[in-house]
Amino acid sequence: MATNTGTAALPLKLVVVGGGIGGLACAYALQKVGHYVVLIEQTDGQFKSKRGMRCPPNMTRPLYDWGLGPELEEVAVKASGISFLLGGTGEKIGMTVFHEQIMKAFRADFLFVQHGQIYSMLTSLALSVGVEIRYSSSVVDIDPYGGVPPLVNGHSPSTSSSSLPSTPSTFSTSSFPPSPSRVHFDPSGQPAVYLDSGEILSADIVFGVDGRESLVRRTVIRARDCEWADDQNAWSINLSIPTEQMKEDDDLRDLCVSEDWTIWLGEGYGVYGCLTDKKSTYSLVIIWPETPNDKLGSSSWYEEWPVENIDWDSRVLEVRLRKMIKLAKTFTCVKDSVGEPIDSWIHESGRVVLAGDAAHPLLPTGSHHVAMAIEDAVTLSHLLSHVSTASTIPLLLSAYEDLRQHRSHLVQTSESRKRAFTSFPRGLEQETRDRGLREAMRQAKLDWEEADEDYLREEWREYVDLFGYDAREAVEDWWTKWGPLVRRGVRYSLSDGTERSLSDTDVDEVSFDHQEVKSAQVEVSVSSVSADTSDILQILPVL
């Protein structure tokens, strides 16, 4: 197991709200670099979902870095590529091959694994470095100013004009274990986290990693008088089928050995299938344009329903899909939609920060929504490992927001386009898609040595941007450019002609342009025909 390396020069007291995969990843990564983390989770932590997850290379790479490679090897299935099938007939019309030469350049694999398995691994990691996990504990409110109204032009506003909630008199104050003497923060500047037990936790920073229905997000955005818009326009039905039962059916037997991510392309719907748990389970995700049953009482990953409760006309699905639905005993159902981006993930106090699903307007059943939470954890931990004084905190958090919002926008655009691609209604777009997939499949079937260079370049252009991103390297690039300024607190010129130091000014006055800092992505460089086939497609760092 990993150990606490304690690289942070100024250890901070942190509260992470939300103990899902994203929260566990943030808590572990932040504790590992030397901070003190308490994780608040409203469940008892016992639920281990068998729902299948796709772990693209940009997610598995940090998991490997965290030492989870051997554990993933025991349970995961390594994807060999993507197969595109027609939803109504099952005819295969397209494929993408994950060539070994390309995946090796990513330094990570595309894996299929169960949600509960990743959850268990990250729980063990967090506990191994000393994270304090509070199960069955809910946050009921957050005071981002710790009960002290913020200064406005150097003066405290009147009580009537303050937007702070009143502090319940029944709460008893609590804090973290004593920090080393070199930690000197003004308690009046620390946010307060109110728990349902009546306890109050104070911290230097509160991280909201509490999902799409985030309470912390409401604290962050109410200062900006905006809301998280969410257009509930589709449903995700999730089923797990034992492959032992599938092997008894001649139609289903081939799916029990395929290591492809199988995508059924439907008219207004889409279906994703993959093997998990060392091929003992087949995970099926059906994206449906309406609820599978109007009588379902809730939309939650945690509540399972008898498969007999699915009330829809499944005749549009190919026979294998209908058979697998019957073999599944239960299903979970959640709304599959995307929210509008919010303008900032950081409260105006600079002490409450969003990450994971609380921040990203991503599809919950896409390939990257969990990966983005892992990337957030890596970004935050590497940035906050550089905290040396209290004044550097808002600068580093601003860098987190700049780096991650830019990345989030790129991923959201890609995910939304891919979702539409799988569910085109009958018409010109669908015909064009199917024709393109059929033509590309002829190239994809070729061996690496025979594949056309132009085809490889075009086929992998977007995957390279998505899979090749390395959050750690993105922070290192940012720190190379801006770190010396942050460390020295050098003076710089403001737009009004005056000068200030980085250590005594609001972060809003400093713009860290992410476009000037080359993020750690990769580009495709196709050489001329070479006897060394590994040179045909090279994945090279952007310099």
pTM assigned to the model: 0.84
* Residue 162 pLDDT greater than 90, yes or no: no
Q: Which of 134-138, 170-174, 419-423 has the highest mean pLDDT?
A: 134-138
End-to-end CA separation in angstroms for the chain: 34
Tell me if 367 is assigned to some domain.
yes
Q: What is the mean pLDDT of residues 34-56?
A: 94
φ, ψ for residue 442, nearest 5 deg? -65, -35
More reliable by pLDDT, 59 or 539:
59
- Give pLDDT, residue 17: 98
Percent of the chain whose predicted confidence (pLDDT) is above 70: 76
pLDDT at 199 over 50: yes
Structure confidence at residue 129 (pLDDT): 97
| Least confident segment among 3-7, 243-247, 359-363, 472-476 | 3-7
Residue 404 lies in a domain: yes
pLDDT above 70: residue 359:
yes
> pLDDT grade, residue 440 (50/70/90)?
confident
pLDDT of residue 298: 63
pLDDT of amino acid 334: 85
* Residue 38 falls inside a structural domain: yes
Cβ–Cβ < 8 Å for 202, 175: yes
> Is residue 167 assigned to a domain?
yes
pLDDT tens string 46-67? 988 889 999 999 999 999 999 9
Cβ-contact 57, 468 below 8 angstroms: yes
State residue 293 phi and psi, 5-degree precision.
Answer: -165, 120
DSSP string, 381-439: HHHHTT--STTHHHHHHHHHHHHHHHHHHHHHHHHHHHHHHHTPPTTHHHHHHHHHHHH
Q: What is the DSSP letter of 533?
A: G
Please give the average per-residue pLDDT across 434-447, as a whole number. Answer: 81
Contact 369, 362 (CB under 8 A): yes
- What average pLDDT does the chain have? 81
- pLDDT tens figures, 366-377: 889 899 999 999
pLDDT tens-place string over residues 142-154: 999 886 544 333 3
pLDDT of the residue at 541: 34
* Winning range, highest mean pLDDT, from 125-134, 330-339, 389-398: 125-134
- The sign of the CA dihedral 146, 150, 154, 159 is negative
Of the pLDDT bands very low, low, confident and very high (cuts 50, 70, 90), residue 252 is: very high
What is the model's pLDDT at position 448? 59
pLDDT digits (tens, 9 = 90+) for 278-300: 999 999 999 998 877 776 766 77
Handedness of CA 378, 185, 15, 192 (dihedral sign): negative
Contact between 382 and 33 (Cβ < 8 Å): yes
Residue 364, pLDDT score: 80
**pLDDT classification of 362: cutoffs 50, 70, 90:** confident
Flag whether 444 is in a domain: no
Helix (H) or strand (E) holding 21: helix 21-32
Tokens at 47, concatenated = 């639920």
Task: Point out the least confidently predicted range of 224-228, 230-234, 458-462.
Answer: 224-228
| CA gap 196, 140 in Å, rounded | 6
Greatest mean pLDDT range, 14-18, 333-337, 493-497, 522-526: 14-18
**Does 6 reside within a domain?**
no
Which structural domain, as residue segments, surrounds residue 194? 13-45+128-149+162-229+340-413
Q: What is residue 365's predicted lDDT score, i.e. its pLDDT?
A: 80
The answer to whether residue 170 sits within a structural domain is: yes
Cα dihedral angle (59, 62, 65, 68), rounded to 10 degrees? -50
- Total of domains in the chain: 1
CA distance 84 to 81: 10
Residue 439: inside a domain, yes or no? no
State how far the Cα of 367 lies from the Cα of 372, in Å rounded to an integer. Answer: 10
pLDDT, tens only, 484-528: 888 775 444 344 555 555 544 444 444 545 444 333 333 333 322
User: Would you place residue 224 in the very low, low, confident or very high pLDDT band (cuts 50, 70, 90)?
Assistant: low
What integer is the mean pLDDT of 209-222?
Answer: 90
Q: What is the CATH number of the domain that holds 33?
A: 3.50.50.60
